[in-house]
Chains A and B, each alone.
Chain A
Amino acid sequence: MNEKVDVLIIGSGASGAAVAWSLAETKMRILCLEQGDWVKPTDYPSNGRDWEARLFSDFAVNPNRRARPTDYPINDANSPIKVVNFNGVGGSTIMYTAHYPRLHPSDFKVRTLDGVADDWPVDYATLEPFFAENDRMMGVSGLAGDPAYPPKQPPMPPLPLGKSGQRFGRAMNKLGWHWWPSDTTIATVDYDGRGRCLNLGHCTPGCAQGAKASTDITYWPHAIRAGVELRTRARVREIALDERGMASGVVYYDAEGREQFQPAEMVIVACNGVGTPRLMLNSVSGRFPDGIANSSGLVGKNLMFHPYALTYGYVDEPLDGNHGPPLCLWSHEFYETDHRRDFVRGYAFQFGRGFGSIVEAIVSTAAGRLPWGEEHHRIYREQLLNRRIGLSAICEDLPEEHNRVTLDPVLKDSHGIPAPRIDYTISENSHRMMDHGIARATEILEAAGARNIAVERPILNGGWHLLGTARMGTDPARSVVNEWGRCHDVKNMFIVDGSIWVTAGGVNPTSTIQALALYIADSIKRRLADATLFD
């Protein structure tokens, strides 16, 4: 029998790490269960000559392709966007691009401002100090003064513009549209034990230098030093309830595959917008036959991905290629609702550098640009290699209940736990938004001198952002957790990941997920202090 802990956190990724670190100062006994392993810096692909090949094997973004023993399968056949994630200490921060915008103030008030979806029960001003604290902990590079945001001060200078960024900047100036160096969690100077970026150019599948902030090298070392225990290869099957309707702990499988029960005073779920509803729907009981804390019936519903519309082209000179982090700039010119358009809400542009030489050859062959035969070499050298520039419109996905995570009736993981099934369609509003983004991106690329412009819509393996499947709100009939992350139905159970988002905004979510996790941790601490936590 495992000893009872005060706080049990499930998942060590973006939000689990942040909440563990924040709660550590309470000196409670805190345990985090993580189904994956620690990833050693020497394991990352950029250490080896096969660095691009491993994007298609053990560092593939799609867990079904990657298929590590620590991954779980996902039935995503009924979705035009496939889920991408990583399972290990650091979670999907191991494998994100490190693009780090915040939600805008308006994103928390979409019902009030635009009459769609729902307002959040928290706002930007409430989260602002937690954004700043999280920026410091993760180590954000960027440039103060962006007119698209309220004032903020990234602790490190921005990534270099490079050839690609300058070409885009000139194009955007020609068009008179907003652009700005992106906030990223890539260290541009030595920071909190992390070395500065060396421009390995291969950030997404993990950074061998440690310049990219994944929570295994940011929050976790601090949390562990403060006394938090992190137990790897511990895959949670279900959250158990006691006779009072409170969470009593979890059932999990340890590294040897043995079933264990871990009792806890409080359970915090941080498994992302797919893993969290999967776990909750697998946690059935007499009180909750449809999944724990699911009296609203909303667990798993309202899945939001952000459809990505990628537009790219080729210029007449070599640019940065894969040298340097693949992202460099953003634009929020088209972020807000404009009633002259045929859609509500908006999108951000994320500007990229090029691809590595092999990935360029692969995607260009698949697209029919790169032929077989004698012409292969000439076209590759003269038209393609290092000549790509591209940008993605990150489109706000509004919540729709038919977009959902359920349990697959057949598919199971290696421990026999039912796997998630995704049913998702892109709304007409999102399609129109993508149309608009592609048209504007084409103008940008043409202004940048690109030709052979092509589109990928949506990016197939673009389901990075897993949001909305256990939404927060003040009405227990219309939400799963309250305004500070506690489940309406189970008063010692909290959710801190992207599941609790009410709407998606039009930016990468990690910054806001972590700020929200720190805010919830702060709420827990305040209510511990006045003994109202479980009231």
Chain B
Amino acid sequence: MDRDNPLTEAETRDLRALAALMIPASDVYGVPGADDDLIFADILRSLERDTADARAALALLARMAGGSFADLPAGRRAEIAAAFKREGGAPLFALNRVVLLCYYRDDRVMRSLGQEPRPPFPRGHEVEQGDWSLLDPVRGRAPFYRRAP
């Protein structure tokens, strides 16, 4: 294991195969999958305090696969993944969260969503003031707070 990957080689392969099923690449939307080299490297680096949950989830996945999930035929992988999604519980939720956290901050993915790949600060965003006349019916209402003795 190295600093950027707390998982074993077998766990890493299974996670990559699972990530490809969670969020596959799409030609329609022009986006990579979650198993893309850059995104997957980010996922491994970002497990941090979710590492124990990730490993627990991957251990369950391997048990359900009867060995290496990554080495199963594609059809069987899909079947196992569907069952794993139902049964994975909190550890899978944590693992899935890390995958999503890394996928949706990838520059290519953000651009495909019409987002600028930048932090919120310092430029912020525009929010329209809106039509304040909508409030007129409420302005016309008599005070209705309950009087206290």
Q: A-side interface residues toward B, CB under 8 Å?
A: 44, 46-53, 56-57, 65, 67, 104-106, 108-109, 112-113, 123-124, 143, 145, 147-150, 160-163, 165-166, 169-170, 172-173, 176, 178-181, 197-202, 208-209, 320, 323-324, 332, 336, 357-358, 361-362, 365-366, 372-374, 376-378, 381, 385
Contact B128 A163 (CB under 8 A): yes
B25 to chain A, nearest CB (A): 10
Stretch with Cβ within 8 A of A (4 or more), from B4-12, B56-64, B110-118: B110-118
Which one of A50, A51, A376 has the greatest number of beta carbons of chain B within 10 Å? A376
**Residue B51, interface by CB 8 Å:** no
Contact B48 A57 (CB under 8 A): yes
B122 to chain A, nearest CB (A): 7
What are 18 A-B interface contacts by the 8 Å CB criterion? A47-B119, A104-B145, A106-B148, A112-B149, A113-B149, A147-B142, A148-B143, A148-B144, A160-B130, A161-B130, A166-B130, A198-B123, A208-B121, A209-B124, A323-B127, A365-B96, A372-B21, A381-B29
Q: Which B residues from 96 to 119 make CB contacts under 8 A with A?
A: 96-97, 100-101, 103-105, 110, 113, 115, 117-119
Q: How far is the CA of A177 from the CA of B134 in the complex (A)?
A: 13
Which residues does chain B contribute within 8 Å of A385, judged by CB atoms?
113
Contact A161 B121 (CB under 8 A): no
Contact B96 A198 (CB under 8 A): no
Classify the secondary structure of B's interface with A: loop
**Residue B137, interface by CB 8 Å:** yes
Which residues does chain A contribute within 8 Å of B97, judged by CB atoms?
56, 362
* A109-B148, A109-B149, A113-B146 given; A209·B122 CB < 8 A: yes
Q: How far is the CA of A161 from the CA of B21 in the complex (A)?
A: 40
Q: How far is the CA of A414 from the CA of B78 in the complex (A)?
A: 45
Contact B119 A198 (CB under 8 A): no
Contact A358 B119 (CB under 8 A): no
Contact A362 B101 (CB under 8 A): yes
Which residues does chain A contribute within 8 Å of B127, judged by CB atoms?
160, 162, 199, 320, 323-324
Contact B119 A49 (CB under 8 A): yes
Contact B117 A161 (CB under 8 A): no
Contact A160 B128 (CB under 8 A): yes
Smallest CB-CB separation from A331: which chain B residue? B138
Which residues does chain B contribute within 8 Å of A324, judged by CB atoms?
125, 127
Which residues does chain B contribute within 8 Å of A113, judged by CB atoms?
146, 148-149
Which residues does chain B contribute within 8 Å of A169, judged by CB atoms?
130, 134-135
Number of A-B contacts (CB under 8 A): 171
**Residue B3, interface by CB 8 Å:** no
Q: How far is the CA of A37 from the CA of B97 in the complex (A)?
A: 29
B138 to chain A, nearest CB (A): 6
B17 to chain A, nearest CB (A): 12
**Residue B80, interface by CB 8 Å:** no
* A320-B127, A372-B23 given; A358·B81 CB < 8 A: no
Which residues does chain A contribute within 8 Å of B110, judged by CB atoms?
357
Which residues does chain A contribute within 8 Å of B139, judged by CB atoms?
145
* A178-B141, A200-B125, A381-B29 given; A106·B146 CB < 8 A: yes
Q: How far is the CA of A62 from the CA of B146 in the complex (A)?
A: 36
Q: How far is the CA of A10 from the CA of B120 in the complex (A)?
A: 34
A121 to chain B, nearest CB (A): 14
B45 to chain A, nearest CB (A): 11
A169 to chain B, nearest CB (A): 4
Q: Which 4 A-B pairs have the closest CB atoms?
A: A198-B124, A161-B130, A324-B127, A323-B125
Smallest CB-CB separation from B124: which chain A residue? A198
Which residues does chain B contribute within 8 Å of A65, judged by CB atoms?
49
Contact A201 B120 (CB under 8 A): yes
- Contact pick for B105, options A108, A358, A374, A377, CB 8 Å: A358
Q: How far is the CA of A294 from the CA of B9 in the complex (A)?
A: 57
Contact B22 A372 (CB under 8 A): yes
Contact B148 A201 (CB under 8 A): no
B108 to chain A, nearest CB (A): 13
- Contact pick for B145, options A109, A148, A166, A200, CB 8 Å: A148
Contact B104 A165 (CB under 8 A): no
* A50-B105, A162-B130 given; A198·B145 CB < 8 A: no
Q: How far is the CA of A201 from the CA of B128 in the complex (A)?
A: 14
Q: How far is the CA of A169 from the CA of B128 in the complex (A)?
A: 14
